[in-house]
Amino acid sequence: MFKTKKANQPKSTNRLKTILEFSDQWEMEQQERYVFQYYHNKLKGLDPNQINIHGVDLHKTDNGFIVTAVIRHSLEKKLNLQDVRLVVRDLEGKELGKKDFNMELFGELNSLRARPWFFEFDSEAILVSEEEIQDKMDFEVVFEIQELVVSDFEVQLDENWSTSLNDEQKSSLESTVASMDSMKQDEISVSSISLDETENGINVIIIVRNSFDNDVTISNLPLQLFDANGELVSQLGFPLDNFSINPKSARPISLHFPKSVFKKANPDWSSWKVALTAQQ
């Protein structure tokens, strides 16, 4: 196969307490510090290697609302946030606002430390009607994980493909790859290119893309084949001999599905697709 599944890590029962500290960028009265200390003391400890944000207050403004929250972490190294995306929800899970924030002024946070900060959600970041936002309402704020995606792939041709395609065909293949949807980083994907029906089955050309930062060598390619009705026609594993794909690259491959393994008679090939068979 081509991807090793990560083993589930046992959840630690050793909760870690953080120490509250305040930024030099935020001037506040001693009474405010006592309030934050009160909220901080009520928070449960963190699991190791965890980053957490806890909402303290929501203040409605004429142009949206301001959230005050405590950010804390249990990483073994300093926390240096760059850009974060925050989502504010009511206690039923409905999203009230979403916005990206630059955290340069927040500064570094030593290990097992917590620091209060405020976040202004203007009208463009509000996802509900003004009436649904109430001053001092109960809420929760969470980090939204921004998945890394890859959109630019270099076409990788072995010697046989390079010599069999003319310049126009190579250019067409590059355009096809460039028009494909972006994919998540650190994945393998397959896309349909062409299909040729024969007496004994079908020959297909597909593109295999590698969004990892390193080479990926595929020893077995398990595929499902669907016809125009979205019905499964065949499920087959293709043993490959050192089929290696460069980082951020797309490589074509030609495969044959024999009729003897078809699960459906008379498939409709007016449109079709292949998909990787899910690993069990």
pLDDT in tens, 103-118: 999 999 999 999 999 9
Q: What is the pLDDT of residues 213-225, one digit of tens each?
A: 999 999 999 999 9
- Burial class, 92, CB count within 10 angstroms (exposed 0-12 / middle 13-18 / buried 19+): exposed
Q: What is the pLDDT of residues 225-270, one digit of tens each?
A: 999 999 999 999 999 988 999 999 999 999 999 999 999 999 999 9
In the predicted structure, residue 6 carries a pLDDT above the cut 80: no
Predicted confidence at residue 2, as pLDDT, reads 45
Provide the number of structural domains found in the chain. Answer: 2
Pairing of strands 154-155, 249-258: parallel
Residue 154 sits in the same domain as residue 271: yes
Q: Identify any residues that bridge with 89 across adjacent strands, giving them in sequence order.
A: 95, 140
Domain end: 143, 162, 184, which one? 143
In the predicted structure, residue 126 carries a pLDDT above the cut 70: yes
Q: Would you say 132 and 99 are in contact if contact means Cβ atoms under 8 Å apart? A: no
Q: In angstroms, what CA-CA distances link 81 with 64, 168, 239, 264, 268?
A: 24, 47, 44, 53, 52
Q: Would 254 be classed as within a structural domain?
A: yes
Model confidence, pTM: 0.56
Q: Would 12 be classed as within a structural domain?
A: no
The C-alpha atoms of residue 174 and residue 176 are separated, in whole angstroms, by 5
Domain end: 105, 120, 143, which one? 143
Residue-range definition of the domain harbouring residue 181: 150-276
Phi-psi region of 24 (alpha: psi -120 to 50; beta: other; left: phi over 0): alpha
Q: What is the DSSP string of 183-201?
A: EESS-EEEEEEEEEE-SSE
Residue 135 sits in the same domain as residue 33: yes
Q: Which helix (H) or strand (E) holds 49?
A: none
Q: With cut-offs at 50, 70 and 90, classify the pLDDT of residue 13.
A: low
Residue 64 sits in the same domain as residue 127: yes
Q: Would 14 be classed as within a structural domain?
A: no
**What share of the chain in percent tops pLDDT 90?**
83
Q: Would you say 54 and 67 are in contact if contact means Cβ atoms under 8 Å apart? A: no
